[in-house]
Structure 1
Amino acid sequence: MEPTVSGSDERTVRELIRFYLLDHRTPVGRAIDIALLGLNLLFVGVFVVETYPVSARVRSALWQLEVGIAGVFAVEYLFRLYGARDRLAEFSNGYTMVDLLSILPTLSIVLLPTSVGIVNVGFLRAIRIVRVLRFYRFTADAEFFFGTVSDNTLRAMKLFLTILVLLVVSAGLFYSVESGANPGIETFGDAFYYTVVTLSTVGFGDIVPATAAGRWVTVAAILAAVILIPRQASKILREWTSKEKVNVTCPDCGLAYHDPDASHCKACGHVIYQEADSRE
């Protein structure tokens, strides 16, 4: 039920902000979710398009769009901190830190244009690609603006998201350190192609890192793929293999999920007398 701001159920502005930023059921909460999801996609899309040859007019329009979206994200970031019950915990939250990191490059160029002259502005703005990590916030639970999904579907979504995020972030960082130094990397598409070929272990060899930073990005991407993807996939496999199990916990050793016809715990041998239909 949507909160009200009247009578004994009166809520402070801070509570309302916290409610709507977490809510998936009310029209306002759903609208916020959909808007943030769309802006996330658009923010990442602007970065990708900017890596391709475009006219000065289009590039100027993309920059204005980037600044506008970054401003919206900055307001959202401040609202999350303001509405949080524990602001320190919210500030140190991984999702919140990603939010801040993704908008800092754009805001620093707008607010402190002279201070960014000593750094590589292209690399600084490429950090915006980490915004794709923000999509993990939408999979924090099984409830979405379009309804509730099963645990297995949620795990599959997280696996797909892990692969997508790994490819996009790796490609974005590789592009930022290799463009200009590597003749094979002219656009984000080139970097994405290299990342897919490398992480899939195909390794055509038509594009290779030309800088030390590019090699380190490649090493980090490979290690992340080796660690993260099997971890997510194992959760799905474990769920599939336990579908035929019955959720009964052994009172002696605490082992849960036993075979449908089990009468004894397979770990300790304790009698559990799990019921089974003899007709099966």
Structure 2
Amino acid sequence: MTDTPLARWERHNGVVLAVASLVFLAAYAVLVLGHGLPGAVQTLCLALALAAWAVFLVDYVARWHLSGQRWLRFIRTHWLDTLVLLLPLLRPVRIVQTYEAVQRRQNEPRLSLHARVIAYAGLSVTLLGFAASLALYQQEHAAPDADIRTYGDAVWFTCTTLSTVGYGDLAPVTPIGRLVAVGVMACGLALLGAVTGSFSSWLLQVFAREGERDAERPPGNSPGAFDGKDGQA
């Protein structure tokens, strides 16, 4: 197992980043949906969101410092981390890294690879769908001629888009709303492909093991074989 300063940092800060991600998502949800809340509550949620983003910034700078790379090279090689820092709504999706950080402390995962892929995909879809529906509702509900007027509309559009169904009954009209929709489409295709591929690989492994057991079984013990003395299986 790699024991560089950067690897140690990533192993031990996973829980902190996961908590900060949930705090940011919860604070953002209250700011978007809590129209009638007192100003003090909204100010508190804004402060919590900014504090969570500050944690993301500290983690990003620390990772750059520990990597020993030049600034531009680090940005190129860690473009996803840079994107998540600039678009913190994507940060909650990386909560799945917390499981990996905990398992790396124990040197081995408790779930098989296929189970982890399905679990990660399910958690990612839930968090991504929630974050995307919030962003869509924030951008669309007050736009002229908007189809997405309520948060329920935003959730419905996000679900149909993530599942690659796309009924077409609702559509975003704002530029940012359409950009969010494109991101949801891409993530839905990627997650669907990951789950489908993992499930297919698992089935192939099961069939391969069954074939190996059938090949190793003596002919007289194969399923459906009959005993010639009494004519019974």
1:192 aligned to 2:155?
A: yes
Residue in structure 1 matched with residue 109 of structure 2 by the alignment: 148
Residue in structure 1 matched with residue 10 of structure 2 by the alignment: 22
RMSD of aligned residue pairs (Cα, Å): 3.5
- Give a deviation string over 1:55-87, Cα, whole Å, max 9, x none: 101001111112222222221111111112545
In structure 2, do the counterparts of structure 1 residues 65 and 145 end up closer, same or farther at CA, with 3 Å as the change threshold? farther
Bigger mean CA deviation after superposition, 57-66 or 214-223: 214-223
In structure 2, do the counterparts of structure 1 residues 191 and 78 end up closer, same or farther at CA, with 3 Å as the change threshold? same
Number of equivalenced pairs? 210
2:52 to 69, 86, 89: 69
TM-score after normalising by structure 1:
0.60
Residue in structure 2 matched with residue 129 of structure 1 by the alignment: 89
Bigger mean CA deviation after superposition, 232-241 or 211-220: 211-220
The amino acid of 2:16's aligned partner reads: A
1:181-260 matches, cutoff 5 A: 181=143, 182=146, 184-187=148-151, 190-200=153-163, 201=165, 203=167, 205=169, 207-211=170-174, 213-215=176-178, 217-246=180-209, 259-260=211-212
Counting aligned pairs with the same residue, the percent is 18
The amino acid of 1:171's aligned partner reads: S
Contact 1:142 1:151 in 2 (8 A): no
In structure 2, do the counterparts of structure 1 residues 97 and 223 end up closer, same or farther at CA, with 3 Å as the change threshold? closer
The amino acid of 2:109's aligned partner reads: T
TM-score after normalising by structure 2:
0.71
Residue in structure 1 matched with residue 227 of structure 2 by the alignment: none
1:40 to 10, 13, 21: 21
In structure 2, do the counterparts of structure 1 residues 55 and 186 end up closer, same or farther at CA, with 3 Å as the change threshold? farther
In structure 2, do the counterparts of structure 1 residues 211 and 71 end up closer, same or farther at CA, with 3 Å as the change threshold? closer
Offset of 1:158 from its aligned partner? Answer: 2.5
Q: Distance in 2 between matches of 1:98 and 1:47?
A: 18
The amino acid of 2:184's aligned partner reads: A
Bigger mean CA deviation after superposition, 72-81 or 175-184: 175-184
Q: Distance in 2 between matches of 1:96 and 1:202?
A: 29
Q: Distance in 1 between matches of 2:97 and 2:86?
A: 15
In structure 2, do the counterparts of structure 1 residues 93 and 236 end up closer, same or farther at CA, with 3 Å as the change threshold? farther
1:276 aligned to 2:228?
A: no
Match of 1:143, SS?
Answer: helix
Query: Where does structure 1 lack aligned partners over 5 or more consecutive residues?
Result: 4-14, 24-28, 103-127, 247-257, 263-274
| Structure of higher RCO (CA pairs closer than 8 Å, 6+ residues apart) | 2
Match of 1:51, SS?
Answer: helix
Offset of 1:130 from its aligned partner? Answer: 1.7
Q: Distance in 2 between matches of 1:176 and 1:71?
A: 23
In structure 2, do the counterparts of structure 1 residues 218 and 140 end up closer, same or farther at CA, with 3 Å as the change threshold? same
In structure 2, do the counterparts of structure 1 residues 240 and 86 end up closer, same or farther at CA, with 3 Å as the change threshold? farther
Contact 2:148 2:172 in 1 (8 A): no
Q: Distance in 2 between matches of 1:183 and 1:260?
A: 56
The amino acid of 1:51's aligned partner reads: V
The amino acid of 1:135's aligned partner reads: I
The amino acid of 2:10's aligned partner reads: L
In structure 2, do the counterparts of structure 1 residues 202 and 70 end up closer, same or farther at CA, with 3 Å as the change threshold? closer
Q: Distance in 1 between matches of 2:193 and 2:7?
A: 35
Offset of 1:198 from its aligned partner? Answer: 4.5
Contact 1:184 1:190 in 2 (8 A): yes
